[in-house]
Amino acid sequence: MDKYINAPVSDEDAKGLRAGDYVYISGTIYTARDAAHKRMYEALNNGEQLPIDMKNNIIYYMGPSPAREGRPIGSAGPTTASRMDKYAPKLLDLGLKGMIGKGKRSDAVKDAIIRNGAVYFAAVGGAGAILSKCIIESEVIAYDDLGTEAIRKLKVENFPVIVVIDSEGNNLYETAIEEYKKGN
Amino acid sequence: MRTINVETISENIKEMCIEATHYLSEDMKKALDNSYDKEESPLGKQILNQLKENLEIAGNDMIPICQDTGMAIIFIKIGQDVHFEGGNLEDAINEGVRRGYVDGFLRKSVVSDPIIRENTKDNTPAVIYYEIVEGDKVDITFAPKGFGSENMSKIYMLKPADGIEGVKEAILNTVKEAGPNACPPMVVGVCIGGTFDKCAVLSKKALTREAGKHSDIPYVRDLEIEMLDKINSLGIGPGGLGGTQTAFAVNIETYPTHIAGMPVAVNICCHVNRHSHRVI
């Protein structure tokens, strides 16, 4: 089912999404991948503030290629989410409402998604050019020294994603594969 | 004897970096079109359509097909009658990569040390495989490799008693485990034989073979066809979101091996299987 939501995402919107929904996101989202997550995790362990408020926000696991002149960002597709599994439950417990990436998640992440009424979206991996076109503004807001891995604030319009794990723990990767499995 | 200035190598490699990351080769485009026609899942078809549009935008607007513009892999065959002048060949290759990634607005994804992890900021060094061949030409294949799929690749030190059934199981298990992480539909590069190291290199080289072109060895060709069919029956589908198109091709290389062993390497590449080839 096609759905349109705004980011930051409300508790109700997040709860209303179901695994398999095709969702267009508009609004503000943040990027963070391996190095930024490690740094945020260390900051929390040291009792420091995070550079972004997690509450009702969406993190996009993405490190873009450099922008050409006149463009806000370069190629901008998702990276593999499982590398953030170690850090994600802590961020979800702080109010993070959505994650956009690609690939499987751990049981600990799934449990934290259910516990917090959150959602895990997949963007199509390797579709970095088309996804770049849905990003209207991009600004590095923290960890500038990390280059492509810095935290960016993005303004997106109709950014296309698919719900993989919903707030009830339904997992599209598991159910859809069963549907098309033959023999074996 | 033919003399080639290494600057020629740098410039060609620079152009190949930009070309390969913005335009897929014809065989890969054809593989994508074929998969689109055959896919049975509506969502799978929608994803494949998105990938086709993505290719159009990448070429027209000069936005890399995928933001992971990879680690630069270079297979270079040097004719033994070639003499290089103007500097060190390896430096010239890395200079080409540097220019390609910096001038071409490509992502710099290489860290100088696996533990300290400081970005080299120009995507060097490249991973280079040299081969000395007859003649006076230089044959270069540039194949940037993203790590979403690289991370899902595996090597198995099988034993002779495991036989061809063991090989099939190794390939299928690797693909199953990779699932959505490797950005399917994927290309599966396999090598059977050699040593631990040789097997891994040839599985990567297998990825540079034209998609849809089979091995000349009859049993290997049959194995490629059978494995593609089995992989596409797994249900993984485009983006791992279910479907009948999980792989575009299975390319298998073989190499003589030791009486005690049967290494099998499975190098997985996503649907953005980039390779650019030039003969200088």
Question: Is some CB atom of chain A closer than 8 A to the CB atom of B272?
Answer: yes
Can you give the pLDDT at residue B51? Answer: 97
Can you give the pLDDT at residue B212? Answer: 87
Same domain, B163 and B202: yes
Same domain, B171 and B125: no
A182 pLDDT band (50/70/90 cuts)? confident
From chain A, pick out residues whose CB is under 8 angstroms from the CB of B236: 177
pLDDT tens, position by position, A61-109: 999 999 999 999 999 999 999 999 999 999 999 999 999 999 999 999 9
pLDDT tens, position by position, A164-176: 999 999 999 999 9
Q: Which of B144, B174, B191 is the last residue of a domain?
A: B144
Can you give the pLDDT at residue A1? Answer: 80
Domain that holds residue B207: 147-275
**Low-confidence stretches of chain B (pLDDT beneath 70):** none
Same domain, B170 and B242: yes
Can you give the pLDDT at residue B71? Answer: 98
Question: Is some CB atom of chain A closer than 8 A to the CB atom of B239?
Answer: yes
Same domain, B206 and B106: no
Average pLDDT over chain A, rounded to an integer: 96
Provide the 3-class DSSP secondary structure of residue A184.
coil
Report how many domains make up chain B.
2
What are the backbone dihedrals phi and psi of residue A139, each rounded to the nearest 5 degrees, phi first?
Answer: -145, 130
Same domain, B85 and B195: no
Q: Which of B92, B125, B144 is the last residue of a domain?
A: B144
Protein fold of A2-177: fumarase (3.20.130)
Same domain, B140 and B154: no
Average pLDDT over every residue of A150-168:
98
Provide the 3-class DSSP secondary structure of residue B278.
strand
CA distance A62 to A161: 14
CB contact under 8 A, B234 and A184: yes
Same domain, B139 and B6: yes
Name beta bridge partners: A163. A121
Nearest CA in chain A to B173: A184
Provide the 3-class DSSP secondary structure of residue A161.
strand
A15 to A12, A102, A142, A173, B17: CA distances (angstroms): 5, 21, 30, 19, 44
CA distance A152 to A142: 7
Best residue of B101, B226, B241, B272 to probe chain A, by most A CBs closer than 10 Å = B241
Same domain, B137 and B227: no
Can you give the pLDDT at residue A76? Answer: 98
Picking from B63, B67, B271, the nearest residue to A63 by CB comes out as B67
**Positive/negative CA dihedral, A38, A40, A42, A45:** negative
From chain B, pick out residues whose CB is under 8 angstroms from the CB of A75: 58, 63-67, 69, 107
Can you give the pLDDT at residue B105? Answer: 97
Same domain, B140 and B157: no
Check pLDDT > 80 for residue A184: no
Q: With b meaning 16 or more CB within 10 Å and e meaning fewer, what string describes A45-56?
A: eeeeeeebebeb
A183 pLDDT band (50/70/90 cuts)? confident
